[in-house]
Amino acid sequence: MRLLIVGALEGQLSQATKLAMEGGAKVAHAPSVEIALATLRAGRGADLLLVDVMVDIPTLIAGLEAERIAVPVVACGTETNAAAAVNAIRAGAKEYIPLPPDAELIAAVIAAVARDSSEFLFRDPSMGRVVKLADQIAPSDASVLITGESGTGKEVMAKYIHSRSKRVQKPFISVNCAAIPEALLESELFGHEKGAFTGAVARRIGKFEEANGGTLLLDEISEMDIRLQAKLLRAIQERLIDRVGGTKPVPVDIRILATSNRNLAEAVREGSFREDLLFRLNVVNLKLPPLRERPGDIAALSEHFVAKYTSANGLPPRALTSEAREELLRAPWPGNVRELENTLHRAVLLASGDAIGPDAIAMPDGTGLSDAVRAHSLASQAAQTAETLSRVLVGRTVADVERDLILDTLDHVLGNRTHAANILGISIRTLRNKLNQYADEGISVPGPGEQRSSAA
């Protein structure tokens, strides 16, 4: 883990640095906000900022947001700095660690970041097969495309692969292609030179260079503009990038992982994704099954999240009832693991006593999980009906479908031309012309008060 200490290295902060290094962190130091931002801008990234509470934390966090640098901030200071601690949390610091530092607390913070980076829980055989393949290809430098519905754990799988690769001691850098405006994504990926565009007040090292020697994750790559895809393809093929406003290419040594919740083959057919880029990314495809197809994982993850959030909220241990477990297994989970986690966090807070029953596992609008199961069942039936109807129509001409619709409507209204025309949304003249055409073709047309079956 890469830790950047921001502030004066004096006394107790020096001790916190020492404890962090003993805990396995790679530690760098920046005495001021300006130097910290310059360090991050230069590509010497960090997984966590440990910041002296007397530093101008609001300015630091504003600078991180302006530079689109996503890294958690933890403030630290003496217990007498209560007001500064409150201000730091309000500004966006994730936690506050009192000084003098406690070795166990520092270790816990480092462990939490490290655990977030590489580990995930699974028990279901379907996920086991995916993990086995991930273990097999992790030591290679092959590009990997990780696909699956939103919330299935694609980014967690990417971190898992990096943690078991030969590049594990080098950076793991993630870029969310869907979250960064199109006009800024090129600069985010490849960096820029000072003065390359309005607002480029200094050279900025992009994610490709920051990940040099390590792994670069292109999250939701399907959302990348097709014009930028050409530049990305060159970077992957030649391991060379061009900073925006730069005059010479920069070599990089990285492994590329990418994720998508869309069908990229379909995007290629639609013209929104380059086929040659897909070939480059999809050397190995890891498809994560949706949570509803992983009952073993639903059970294991449910227990894990209950334990996690009872501890995080300072509550006594709580357990799911058998009825609650059954509901969890029946639920459709369109939001997958992310939705399950939110549901159980809410359940821990809503439960009364030491048991979490079906009543506590409620949807955000207060309806029970069973209602969601029934709604999903109805939606599935509707989708199946629509699919069946589509199959019935496929292979037929528009004229055939139109003729059957007109005659079926006429049957429905017992041959009443005016009523049929109103239902169909056409003029009575158009309807009569169609019916005369069908009669000339030898097709039975019901008269007023008749149906085709009775007219036959």
Summarised one tens digit per residue, pLDDT across range 269-285 is 989 999 999 999 999 99
**Ranges 55-69, 82-96, 103-117, 126-140: which has the least confidence:** 103-117
> Distances in Å between the alpha carbon of 271 and those of 141, 261, 267, 372?
29, 17, 6, 36
Summarised one tens digit per residue, pLDDT across range 30-53 is 888 899 888 887 767 787 888 888
Label residues 381-399 b or e (16+ Cβ within 10 Å = b): eeeeeeeeeeeeeeeeeee
Task: Output the pLDDT for position 117.
Answer: 47
- Please provide the size of the chain in residues: 456
**Ranges 78-82, 88-92, 336-340, 399-403: which has the least confidence:** 78-82
87 compared with 128, residue with greater pLDDT: 128
Closest CA to 126 of 294, 332, 331: 294
pLDDT > 50? residue 333 = yes
Task: Output the pLDDT for position 80.
Answer: 62
Task: Output the pLDDT for position 157.
Answer: 93
167 compared with 42, residue with greater pLDDT: 167
Taking residues 388-408, report their average pLDDT: 74
pLDDT grade, residue 139 (50/70/90)? very high
Pairing state between β 355-356 and 95-99? unpaired
Residue 7, classified by CB atoms within 10 Å of its CB into exposed (0-12), middle (13-18) or buried (19+), is buried
pLDDT grade, residue 378 (50/70/90)? very low
Residues in contact with 15: Cβ distance below 8 Å, sequence separation at least 6, in sequence order: 99, 100, 101
Residue 90, classified by CB atoms within 10 Å of its CB into exposed (0-12), middle (13-18) or buried (19+), is exposed
Summarised one tens digit per residue, pLDDT across range 195-238 is 777 767 778 888 999 899 999 999 999 999 888 999 999 999 99
3-state secondary structure of 285: strand
pLDDT > 70? residue 116 = no
pLDDT grade, residue 455 (50/70/90)? very low
Task: Output the pLDDT for position 62.
Answer: 87
pLDDT > 90? residue 293 = yes
Q: Give all domains of the chain, ordered by start, each with its CATH number.
A: 2-118 (3.40.50.2300), 125-287 (3.40.50.300), 291-372 (1.10.8.60), 398-455 (1.10.10.60)
pLDDT grade, residue 408 (50/70/90)? confident
pLDDT > 50? residue 158 = yes
| Tokens coding 282 | 């999809």
pLDDT > 60? residue 90 = yes
Closest CA to 282 of 227, 222, 337, 225: 222
Mean pLDDT for the chain overall: 83
Task: Output the pLDDT for position 456.
Answer: 44
Pairing state between β 250-251 and 240-241? antiparallel
Contact 382, 417 (CB under 8 A): no
pTM: 0.65
